A = this chain, B = another copy of it.
Amino acid sequence: MGKADDKLFVGVDLGGTNISAGACDVKNKLIAREKKKTKAEEGGPAVIDRIVKTIQEALAIGGLKLGDIGGVGIGAPGAVDINKGTVINAVNLRWKDFPLAAALKEKLKVPVTLDNDVNVGTWGEHVAGAAKDFDDLLGIFVGTGIGGGLILGGKLFHGHYFTAGEIGHTILFSDAPRGLRTLENRASRTAVVNQLKQLILSNHASEVPKLVDGNLDEIRSSVLAKAIKDGDELTIEVVKQSARYVGIAIANTITMLSLPCAVVGGGAMEALGDPYLKWIRQSFEEHVFPEKLRSAKILQSSLGDDAGVVGAAHLARLRLS
């Protein structure tokens, strides 16, 4: 240990839209960070170059160089093979069996470890965030889509095919047509915005059109948050519905795994804050079984946007020290 404890480790959160990178110390403190566009459309090698550049610039901001770091942890979207360090399939990056860890290692000349983006976010909340006190928990992240990660017995649970945690794809509406059956179909920010648009276009009263100067393609989470704060009934109804479904999916998972805790994060959660969490909790308590499990803690992510970077850096420290 000794020496390794002094080292910094870099965490990278690779998304379809953005790359975030940061260096963390042994106390999971984020020393320096940087963010760039992913530009997935430019292809794998270009994305690798941008990841390398993001890491280098983050280090430069902190007055650090590659020699100061013990390794890099990276969270990538989609299914990843953590043993081989490959991205098995990431639709939004257009990657199939892509050797991400090896490609980064070749460029950086430091060890690299890989996991799923939502898993590293959940891990961040477990080691340094809202779920520090829990060894068994569900992480659920609500944004454009909905992803989940599981920690069981203090370890990330990957399952047989490395895809565990795909809560957004669980079915909550068994008799609905394809495309309207899953949690993600009904409760993601994408779903909420589409429902709200549709209702506004069919002449339901709302202050949202005014908030976006009539351009309904500009409805972001921040707009939803403002409308809720102003008491806009249409927005409240639609967002409450999303929270209800998220609460049911959390209840289903906690019912199946008898977990003491779930952490809710992601762009929509961050923007919508307390009312959203309150509605999720109400729905969870209504639907979980048995009654005793109502005492499970439903917490908001405390690291927010940094959960992935902090979690990836910690995983790197754990696996590469």
Residues of chain A whose beta carbon lies under 8 Å from any beta carbon of chain B: 79, 89, 136, 148, 150, 152, 157-167, 169-175, 181, 186, 244-245, 248, 251-253, 255-260, 287, 289-290, 292-293, 296
Contacts and interface: CB of A to CB of B under 8 A. Distances in A.
A82 to B, nearest CB: 12
B248 A163 contact: no
A12 B46 CA distance: 63
Contact of A158 (B171, B253, B258): B258
Contact of A136 (B79, B89, B159, B169): B159
A191 to B, nearest CB: 13
Given A158-B258, A163-B290, 20 more contacts: A136-B159, A148-B256, A157-B257, A159-B257, A159-B258, A160-B296, A161-B258, A161-B292, A163-B255, A163-B292, A164-B256, A166-B256, A166-B258, A167-B256, A169-B289, A170-B256, A171-B287, A173-B175, A174-B248, A181-B287
A282 B79 CA distance: 24
Nearest to A89: B290
A137 to B, nearest CB: 10
Given A150-B256, A152-B152, A159-B136, A172 B169 contact: no
Contact of A171 (B150, B252, B258): B252
